[in-house]
Amino acid sequence: MISAFKTVAATCVALLPLGALPAVAQETIPITIGAGLPPHSNSVARIIDYVIPEIDRRLAENGNYKIEWTTGWSGTIAGQFDMFEAVQDGIIDIGSVNTLFEGAKLPMEQITYVTPFGGNDLVKTMEIFDKVRAELPELDEQFLRFNQRRLGVGGLVDYHLLSTFEIKTLEDLQGKKFGTPGLAANWLDGTGATPVAGSLSEYYNSLKTGVYDGIVIFESGIAPFKFHEVAPIITRVGFGSQLTTNLTINEDKWQSLPEEVQNILVEVGAEYENKATEGTIALATKSLETAVAEGAKINDMEPGEVAKLAAALPNIATLWAKSIDDKGLPGTKMLETYMQMSRDAGITFARDWDKE
């Protein structure tokens, strides 16, 4: 009787419709993601409109995992100056880190900021930096020392001077105060201007109240942050394309993730670089057009004056490289590699920073 019962039971199970079988449970993974900048900033906008939905879409296709996102933009969880530490400590799992403010902890990430007056082809700059990164593993090791890893890098097309006064010659900078981000302060060294460390979140009020006479600003940030309302003169000097932001993930969080999720994060992080670059280039053009339409004036500094401005600087690149060498990192090697790869790509600098 028992044997017969087992046979009947097995037959009944075999006849059950497929939908009646127990479904495999989908695992929900909580991830906190944030940025110090607001949603209209290009790097943040691409996270919101591409990174998050694309990760969700790919996970949904496989059906094994789902992410429960907690978001914090505009510094609601951590500000621009605190984001790197917030990711390091796990307060935020994934963060848009403004690496230009982390010169002490991420010195090698600053290479473009110590080699100004190069090209303004951001696509080329990104490609060159990826090649340099492939040759120098120390670049990624920097992040791991602070309990995080890179998912993608973002940059800016070009930096210029935005001011409340006309700038035609190097002498016009004498005695003026400029808000500057990170190592961009070095771009005014020896010019007679006074750089003041600042950030996007406080530039507007500082210009409006006269704390600054101008700012060193990237093209795509002028109109979105309405800086031209309080400093309507844009002087294009061509400091060049810069790498500014990294999307990073806390290493402990990374190690806790299933391989499938890790792979998708890597894939989407690489695509984020392209999306952010495309967005920045489009936004830079639109930003200048909008600023002019709303009353701003664009002046192009004469090439001879740009050359004088570049020549007024100390060799900030070799000084930087030596300081990196002294820390046991390949600063000189990185400078030489980056400059040579740039030349090979057809980029001409106002100064041969690595050869002086």
Closest C-alpha to 245, from 277, 197, 222, 201: 277
Chain Cα centroid distance, residue 307? 28
26 DSSP assignment: P
User: How many residues does this entry show for the chain?
Assistant: 356
**Do 160 and 237 contact (CB within 8 A), yes or no?**
yes
φ/ψ of residue 96, rounded to 5: -90, 100
- Could you give the angle at the alpha carbon of 126 between the alpha carbons of 124 and 132, nearest 5°? 105
Given this model, what pLDDT does residue 89 score? 98
3.40.190.170, 3.40.50.300, 3.30.420.40, 3.90.1580.10: which CATH number matches 27-102+120-155+243-285? 3.40.190.170
Given this model, what pLDDT does residue 182 score? 85
Output the DSSP codes for 43-102: HHHHIIIIIHHHHHHHHHHH-SEEEEEEEE-TTSSS-TTTHHHHHHTTSSSEEEEEGGG-
Burial label, 278 (beta-carbon count in 10 A; 0-12, 13-18, 19+): middle
Given this model, what pLDDT does residue 23 score? 52
Output the DSSP codes for 247-280: EEEEHHHHHHS-HHHHHHHHHHHHHHHHHHHHHH
Given this model, what pLDDT does residue 156 score? 95
Find the radius of gyration of the CA atoms of the chain: 25
Structure tokens at 276: 């952010």
Q: Which sequence spans correspond to the domains of the chain?
A: 27-102+120-155+243-285, 159-241+293-344
Given this model, what pLDDT does residue 16 score? 42
CATH H superfamily, domain 159-241+293-344: Bacterial extracellular solute-binding protein, family 7 (3.40.190.170)
Given this model, what pLDDT does residue 113 score? 95
User: How many Cβ atoms are within 10 Å of 259's Cβ, its own excluded?
Assistant: 7
Structure tokens at 330: 């390949």
Given this model, what pLDDT does residue 21 score? 43
Residues of the chain with pLDDT under 70: 1-24
- Greatest distance between any 2 Cα atoms in the chain: 105
Task: Give kind and range of the element (H or E) at residue 27.
Answer: strand 27-35
Closest C-alpha to 231, from 312, 305, 185, 299: 299
Task: Please name the residue that has the structure tokens 């419709």.
Answer: 17
233 DSSP assignment: E
Handedness of CA 251, 253, 256, 262 (dihedral sign): negative
Burial label, 123 (beta-carbon count in 10 A; 0-12, 13-18, 19+): middle
115 DSSP assignment: S
Given this model, what pLDDT does residue 25 score? 81
Given this model, what pLDDT does residue 9 score? 40
Q: What is the rounded CA–CA span in Å between residue 42 and residue 122?
A: 14
State pTM to two decimals: 0.86
Given this model, what pLDDT does residue 91 score? 98
Given this model, what pLDDT does residue 59 score? 98
